[in-house]
Amino acid sequence: MEQNNNVLTIENISVFYGHICAIRNVSLDAQEGEIVGLIGANGAGKSTVMKAVLGIQRSSSGSIEFLGKDITRMSTERIVASGIVYVPEGGGVLPFMTILENLQLGAIHFKGNLNDRLKQVFERFPILEERQHQLAGTLSGGERQMVAVGRALMSAPKLLMLDEPSLGLGPKVVAGVFNIILDLQKAGYTILLSEQNARKTLQCANRAYVFQTGDIMLNGTGRELLDNPVVQQAYLGG
């Protein structure tokens, strides 16, 4: 086993949808406590990487290691149980269930005390406690994202994968979402963050990978990429 503090190590994975290649020989890693950004246009393969980690999409080659364990062929159920959670685009909140029920569903593999965990999530997002018996479908986009993140935290995960958390939200709410992400990092979570909002992402990420049509084009620290003329040209509006 390698001597590093990598939470996640992806080596040379490729994912095909039928004959179409979604990602090609992608390698990346995330170290403990880091925010790792994945930026790039729609369809560049950011979500596919996350789905491959979760085992929803299978990679045809390469390997995925999580906390030193090979999870490449593990079932999604066991991958989630081992501490990886994924918040899909739009949050994936179940609209016909209450906020409380959504949160409880986040903890189906959680072994500790459910009530303590719930209390911690409510402390982070007090508004969810106030509205816990409200149907999640009645919430605004930003509030749904909060439920989705809260639900992800219910299992005390070791890796949090957020897929386009700011998509479709107003500017004020977007700022709130990024503040939440930075708070989560302070609390010690390791975060993989896929975003089209490149500037915000590079500002808060320790490191980032730039995706283009299934390949990683560039990678570096957030600062390096913000200063990179190619990135500025393509993703930061010149």
Partner 1 sequence: MEVFIAQLISGIKLGSLYAVVVICYNLLILVTGILHLGYASLLVLSMYAAWFVLNATNNNLILGISAGIVSGIVIGTVTAPLFLPFIKRRAILEALVISLALGIISGDVMSHWFNLGLPIAFPSSLQMEGTTISWGLTIIRMGEVVTLVASIIIVFAFLYFLNRTKRGRILRAVAQDTEVARILGISVTKTAIFSFALAGLLGGLTAILFAMSTGTASSILGDSLVIKALAVLFLASIGNLRGGLICALILGVVESLAMGYLPGDWTNAIAFSVVVVILLFKPEGLFGEQH
The residue ranges that bind partner 1 (CB under 8 A) are 54, 56, 75-77, 79-81, 86, 88, 92-97, 101, 104-106, 108-109, 151, 155
Q: Considering beta carbons, is residue 56 or 156 the nearer one to partner 1? A: 56
Query: If residue 16 lies in a helix (H) or strand (E), which one and from where to where?
Result: strand 6-17
Residue 172: CB minimum distance to partner 1, A: 27
Nearer to partner 1, 38 or 231 (CB): 38
Looking at the Cβ atoms of 110 and 122, the one nearer to partner 1 is 110
Q: Which two tokens stand for residue 141?
A: 């986009």
In the complex, the smallest distance separating the C-beta of residue 55 from partner 1, rounded to whole angstroms, is: 9
CB of 150 to partner 1, least distance (A): 13
Cα 213 to chain centroid distance, Å, stands at 20
> Minimum distance from CB of 54 to partner 1 (Å)?
7
For partner 1, the closer of residues 81 and 173 by Cβ is 81
35 or 85: CB nearest partner 1? 85
Residue type, 221: T
Q: How far is CA 72 from CA 30, 93, 155, 217, in A?
A: 16, 27, 21, 24
Looking at the DSSP assignment, which residues form a beta bridge with residue 66? 8, 69
Q: Which residues of 131-163 are buried (b: 16+ CB within 10 A; e: fewer)?
A: beeebbeebeebbbbbbbbbbbbbbbbbbbbbb
Q: Please report how close the Cβ of residue 90 comes to partner 1 at its closest, in angstroms.
A: 10
Nearest approach, Cβ of 220 to partner 1 (angstroms)? 30
| Cα torsion angle, 27, 67, 163, 61, sign | positive
Q: Is 163 left (phi over 0), alpha (psi -120 to 50) or beta?
A: beta
Q: Which is nearer to partner 1, 17 or 96 (CB)?
A: 96
Distances (CA, A) of 93 to 207, 211, 231: 28, 27, 33
34, 62, 44: which is closest to 208 by C-alpha?
A: 34
